[in-house]
Structure 1
Amino acid sequence: MDQQQRHHRIDNIEFNVADIARSKAFYGEVFGWRFVDYGPGYTEFQDGRLAGGFTTGEPVRPGGPLVILYSEDLDETQRKLLQAGATISRATFSFPGGKRFHFIDPDGYELAVWCDR
């Protein structure tokens, strides 16, 4: 999928977990997911169609994983979100491979938007 086809689509799902090794064993055994480690606090998974990650960098959040959307223009997407009534819950930060920010939608769900530029 090229960059334009990815714009504003769900691109990644991130689970905050207490124990990455335990999560890898569980999802690997049950669903056959494959993993790539990016340091001690982050592991990417591939389910054959969708990518995601396990991280210990944030507290475990009951209620589900963090849904992450991709954007070609992070600043413009943030502007549109604010204009539509979202609140920014975590300011833009860099990580290996790009940068992202988190927002709260009008119903209270936290999502994130990332860019690799």
Structure 2
Amino acid sequence: MSTPRFDQVAATGTAAAPVTIRLADGLSVMVSAGPGVACLPCPGSGGQPADYAGPYTHLEVYLPEGVEPGDGDGWLEEDSWELLLTEGDEPDDGRLFYEVPVEDVRALIEEHGGEHPEQNA
């Protein structure tokens, strides 16, 4: 199954902002990789240069309400406090996961039918 938008994120990161991936079933997920993000390799640590731009093996993933994490062990690093502390006036019912293996994120995308052909709609 083709996942070009996700493959681009895994290969080169997301720079300064998370990337939303629209799924074939109409739901979406947000993924991040780069400086200041819970990803691996982590730019600026573990011997990586601060401007490291990929490829990444693990990503930070936000799942909005209605999207459940996959079955893999990669979904164990959940941070419910971060969303609570940064939600502002609108409560956020999503879930934030750190250092999720690329394979587990790809499997979740495929469980939802892959990427929607219209990513910018």
Superposition TM-score, scaled by structure 1 size: 0.27
- TM-score normalised by the chain length of structure 2: 0.26
Q: Which has the higher contact order (CA 8 A, sep 6+)?
A: 2
